[in-house]
Amino acid sequence: MLTDPLGTFFGQTSGGYTAGLNQQMQMFLQALQFQQQQAALAQAQAYGTQFGFAPSGNWMTWGAGGPTQPPAGTPTQAQQQAQQGLLGQQLQNALAIAGATGQFAQPGVNPYAAGTVLTAPSQQPGMGPAFGVVQQDGSVQMITTEALDQLARQRGTTAQAMTSSAAPVSWDTLQRLSQGPPQTGSIQQTQQAQQQAYNQALQGAQLTGTFTNPNMNPDVMLQQGLAMNGASFYSLPQDQQQYWLQYNQNNPQLAAAQWARGVNGALQATGYQNPAAQPQQTLQSINQAAQLSGMYNGAPTETAREYNLMNALQQGALTGTFQGAPTEQAREFNMQNALQQGQLGQQYLSTAAQLQGPQNTFQQSNYLRGAAANPNVPVYLQALQNNMGLPSFTGTGGQAPTPASMGGLAAGMGGGQAEGAGAAAGTGGATSGWNYANTLDAIRGIASRGAQALAPGSLERLSPDELQAFGSGLGAAGYTLPSFLSQYQSSRVGQQAPTYQTSLA
């Protein structure tokens, strides 16, 4: 049997070659796949390093389905770091401004990355939406359609693609960010400015006497989350705080301020005013007012009480009355005065008692009538009676016709009523039984006609008492008994007029 060794050789060789080639191809494909996986991983890592976040897509796949390139305008990690440095500079700038003005505004971070296109519906009817581009500092630059086309060409895309992927915001947000970098919360007054304002208020209070606490101003209390009635946002239950936080970007300061504004609005609607924020009188002013008025909290001050006591003592020294009662000095003076009045009353009685006898009949009557017309005489007689401590004398004198009793003399001077009817005070005469006026008129008529008109023996028939009483009447009428007797004697030749020892007052 013949064989083909060459064919057999080539057959064996061809099968082995094919198997080896397949094996090499598999190894090549595995190496290529590995290289592609390494390239995809490197590309993903490069995106992450450059832009600061992991890209989407399959990191183990090269080409389609592999790591997705970030959209145009996405800030790189270097740009983000630069933005952080810019925020740090903004913070330092805000601190410097706060040191000069006392107002601090916390720089905020725009939730939209730098380069992001924002859009908001226009406020003007018939106008299209407005667009703005976020800057590195977080502010927004409003952009026109032409500028948007130019920016799109710089980024290797189209304006239509940029506007279709623009982030929608409210018009107020777009306007606020276009006016400057974003801020976290409202503008706050620094503690240094608050202390300075408080010190200035204290200095002003020393000049005006009125202090108004600047820290009780509603705007100052807002930044602390306090309402004007002193209620605090941070004292609210957690569920109520969360309610305000979700509507204020989860910012506690914004939420607290917004809550305080709402509470203040409700309080003001009811007419509430914070008493701690109202002007208050200082203690120094109160003390000064008390020193001037003598009153403190509705009661006299110690100085005022001492002054009033001193004034009352001085008035008491002048008036003799202290707190409605006579002073000791006044009582001593009243006793001394009563004693002096009693002594004067005794002098009145003594004088009246000396004018006794018929020769003093009209003089005593005139004295008693004059004393009765003096309103002080009864007081003196009463004082005399009080000083004596005894009732008036009731006994009558034995010498007629003039009453010699104290009661009779006192009654004649208006100091009391004499005993018996027809006393001098009641009849107008010092002697009962005759009328003072009629008797004096008769004597005045005799004296005016002259002693020569008397019948012979007229005076000689008078008793001594009657002649003395007639002489008393002449004295009361403005004449004298000696002159009348001399005239009587000269008018009668050889007639001797009676002579008596008289005492005419």
* Full DSSP string of 259-319: HHHHHHHHHHHTT---GGGS-EE-HHHHHHHHHHHSEETTEE-HHHHHHHHHHHHHHHHHH
| Residues whose CB is less than 8 angstroms from the CB of residue 333 and which lie 6 or more positions away in sequence, other chains included | 320
User: Of all helices (H) and strands (E), which one includes residue 55?
Assistant: none
| Residues whose CB is less than 8 angstroms from the CB of residue 276 and which lie 6 or more positions away in sequence, other chains included | 213, 216, 230
**Quick one: pLDDT at residue 2?**
47
In angstroms, how far is CA 49 from the centroid of its own chain? 70
**Quick one: pLDDT at residue 387?**
54
**Quick one: pLDDT at residue 471?**
81
How far apart are alpha carbons 229 and 275 in whole angstroms?
9
Residue environment code for 434-456, b if the CB has 16+ CB neighbours within 10 A, otherwise e:
eebeebbeebeebbeeebeebee
Angle at 140 between CA 134 and CA 145, to 5 degrees: 85
Report the predicted TM-score, pTM, of the whole model to 2 decimal places. Answer: 0.36
Residue ranges covered by each domain of the chain:
77-184, 191-281, 294-326, 332-427, 436-490
Rg of the chain (C-alpha set): 67
**Both tokens assigned to 388:** 């004596």
**Quick one: pLDDT at residue 408?**
60
Give the residues of the chain that fall short of pLDDT 70.
1-16, 72-73, 105-106, 108, 184-186, 338, 341-346, 348-349, 352-359, 361, 363-364, 366-434, 492-505
Structural contact between residues 259 and 198, judged by C-beta atoms closer than 8 angstroms: no
**Quick one: pLDDT at residue 237?**
93
How far apart are alpha carbons 160 and 176 in whole angstroms?
25
**Quick one: pLDDT at residue 481?**
83
pLDDT tens digits for range 423-472: 343 344 444 445 777 777 878 888 888 878 887 777 787 777 777 777 88
| Residues whose CB is less than 8 angstroms from the CB of residue 310 and which lie 6 or more positions away in sequence, other chains included | none
Structural contact between residues 280 and 212, judged by C-beta atoms closer than 8 angstroms: yes
- The DSSP line for 77-135 is HHHHHHHHHHHHHHHHHHHHHHHHHSEEEEE---SSPTT-EEEE--SSTT---EEEEE-
How far apart are alpha carbons 463 and 374 in whole angstroms?
36
